[in-house]
Structure 1
Amino acid sequence: MISKTLLQVVDHSRDSAGCVYVYPVVSRRAGGVSVGINLNPNNACNWRCVYCQVPDLSRGGAPELNLDLMEAELHQLLQDIVQGDFMQSRVPLEAQRLNDVAFSGNGEPTSSLQFLSCVERVIAVLRHFDLVGKIKLVLITNGSQLDRRQVQTALSLMKNCGGEVWFKLDRAPMDGFSQVNQISLKRSQVTRRLLLAAKHCPTWIQTCMFEMDGALPSELQLQGYLDFLQECMAEGALLEGVLLYGLARPSMQPEASRLAAAPALWMQELARRITGLGLEVKLSL
């Protein structure tokens, strides 16, 4: 039985629908209801972002998935949303619109070896409810698996259904260790993967900015981030824009006490600078 608890922006609980893989949220960035597909119910990810809200996060990839169950859960939830009273009973009045189905959740979705099959099944359910082209199909990703052919194929399928990629880029990638994402990176790898994402599907940059240990990102870090965006565009990345956001929910990582939201005026100024590159910015404080 699906809970009747009212959904809130500050709560993105993965079990809010009583399902294993599917969960509804009110998304500030989406501006309505987003139906999440959690392909990492084992709370495992190949990154460990310091602001991550997933409890008991561990290193690893997605487990073997029960695709029949995932498809059935999505079908039931969309039926409740499209044909039932879900919006009236669960969603605040100002957010009562279905915006998207998003591959998101408790880890990196594309780490699943079944990712392509998941995309195919989700598209089939969207077709059943005549939602293809009417709502978005979104992949929220750190981009780490974009070199894999099945991921590229999946992105091409998403593009044909009006899908888009949200590609995580919190700071300019440097050759070495990322303090924010707790992962070793090569700048050339990130550039290549971002170019691949934009080639196969409309792609937004997704950037989280915040204070850490009482300090905001330095001017050197900000200029490096802006320069990297400009370099990727010069190399042919046709980016849709930047989804710039701050901390809305508490981190569940050991660094939580060291983090704080960036001031609104600071975020607005950064948004202005990104716009100066010729990119659309959607700012969520």
Structure 2
Amino acid sequence: MDRLEDELRGFLSRLAEDESIFTGVARDMRRVADLAISGNGEPTTASEFPQVVELLGRMRAERPALRDVQIRLITNGSLVERAPVSRGIRTLGELDGEVWFKVDAGSAAGFRRI
């Protein structure tokens, strides 16, 4: 968690202070749309998931420019019944966050079955 916090703080500071991060992006498009929890695989499998949600809430609260930025979880929903995941989602709700459920399938036939 310490490494994630350090990296996130560094990125958010750079985002706020370093215009070069936006090279090639039109001024009217320079905004943070959300703080999303997603990844290469199901993000709720991480045992630290509830702490990650709390960390994003703290980071957002510390930065006035981010106070209206949505915190969002993108999940397949397969683990929502697990206590730590439910706890993290409850915290996300308390932060006025969103949960987006995605549906994945390996084939068109599999997708139709879902």
Q: TM-score range by the shorter chain?
A: 0.7 to 0.9
Q: Count matched residues.
A: 110
Q: Which residue of 1 aligns with 2:61?
A: 127
Matched, 1:92 2:92: no
Higher percent of residues as helix: 2
Deviation (angstroms), 1:97 = 1.3
Deviation (angstroms), 1:84 = 2.7
Q: Which residue of 2 aligns with 1:158?
A: 92
Q: Which residue of 1 aligns with 2:6?
A: 72
Q: Distance in 1 between matches of 2:75 and 2:55?
A: 19
Higher percent of residues as strand: 1
Q: Distance in 2 between matches of 1:88 and 1:114?
A: 31
Q: What amino acid does structure 2 have at the position aligned with 1:88?
A: F
Deviations 1:127-185 (A, max 9, x none): 111323x1111111111110111211111211222211110124xxxxxxxxx24xxxx
Identity of aligned residues (%): 31
Deviations 1:30-86 (A, max 9, x none): xxxxxxxxxxxxxxxxxxxxxxxxxxxxxxxxxxxxx00101111111111123315
Aligned CA RMSD, in angstroms, stands at 2.2
Q: Distance in 2 between matches of 1:112 and 1:102?
A: 15
- 1:140 corresponds, among 71, 74, 77, to 74
Unpaired runs of 5+ residues, structure 1, are: 1-66, 171-179, 182-211, 226-285
**Secondary structure of the structure 1 residue equivalent to 2:55:** helix
Alignment of 1:42-53 (within 5 A): none
Structure possessing the higher relative contact order (Cα contacts under 8 Å, 6 or more residues apart):
2
Greater C-alpha radius of gyration? 1
